[in-house]
C-alpha cells in the first residue's frame, strides 16, 4: 500500500506521525494482499484563526475511492475519527466485493445456490 501524508499550516512532529503510522497499519491489515494498487492519502491542516484541525483521508482501492473528512478542535481525535470512518467504509467495500448482500434474504440465497448449481 502506498501512503502519502501531507501537513498544511502545521508542523508534523514525531508523535503525530507515529499516530498516523499506527492507524495506517490498522487499515492495511484490513486489506490483506493489497499491493501497489491501493493508495492512501492523508492531509492534515490547521485553521489558525478558529483553532480548528481538518483531517482528510482518501483511500483508493481497485474500482472504488473511499474518502472522509473530519473537523475537530482536538487533532488526535480528528485523526482517529477519520481513520475509524475509513475502516468502516473498508468493511462495507469488502462486503460488497464478497457479495454478502446475496445472503441477506432467503430468496436471494436460493437464487445464489441456483446460480452456483448446488442443491
Strand 64-72: give its sheet, edge to edge.
2-8, 39-47, 52-61, 64-72
> Considering its fold, how many domains does the chain have in total?
1
Which tens digits make up the pLDDT trace of 44-90? 999 988 889 999 999 999 889 999 999 999 999 999 999 999 999 99
54 neighbors 17 (Cβ within 8 angstroms): no
Q: Is residue 114 part of a domain?
A: no
Report if pTM > 0.85: no
Tell me the pLDDT band of 116, cut-offs 50, 70 and 90: confident
Range of the structural domain that residue 77 is part of: 2-86
Residue 42 covered by a domain: yes
In a domain, 115, yes or no: no
Q: Is residue 77 part of a domain?
A: yes
Flag whether 119 is in a domain.
no
Instruction: Report the CATH number that the domain containing residue 54 is assigned in CATH.
Output: 3.30.160.100
Identify whether 118 is part of a domain.
no
What integer is the mean pLDDT of 36-41?
Answer: 91
Instruction: Flag whether 108 is in a domain.
Output: no
Q: What is the pLDDT of residues 6-29, one digit of tens each?
A: 999 988 789 999 999 999 999 999
User: Could you tell me if residue 81 is inside a domain?
Assistant: yes
Report the chain's mean pLDDT, rounded to a whole number.
89
Burial state string for 76-96 with b = 16 or more CB within 10 A and e = fewer than 16: eebbbbbbebbbebbeebeee
Amino acid at each position: 500500500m502506498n501512503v502519502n501524508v501531507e501537513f498544511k499550516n502545521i508542523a508534523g512532529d514525531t508523535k503525530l506521525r507515529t499516530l498516523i503510522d499506527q492507524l495506517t497499519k490498522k487499515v492495511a491489515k484490513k486489506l490483506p494482499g493489497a499491493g501497489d494498487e491501493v493508495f492512501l492519502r492523508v492531509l492534515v491542516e490547521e485553521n489558525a484563526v478558529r483553532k480548528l484541525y481538518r483531517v482528510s483521508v482518501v483511500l483508493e482501492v481497485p474500482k472504488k475511492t473511499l474518502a472522509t473528512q473530519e473537523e475537530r478542535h482536538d487533532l488526535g481525535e480528528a485523526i482517529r475519527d477519520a481513520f475509524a470512518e475509513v475502516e468502516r467504509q473498508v468493511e462495507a467495500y469488502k462486503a460488497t466485493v464478497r457479495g454478502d448482500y446475496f445472503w441477506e434474504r432467503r430468496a436471494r440465497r436460493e437464487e445464489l445456490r441456483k446460480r452456483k448449481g448446488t442443491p
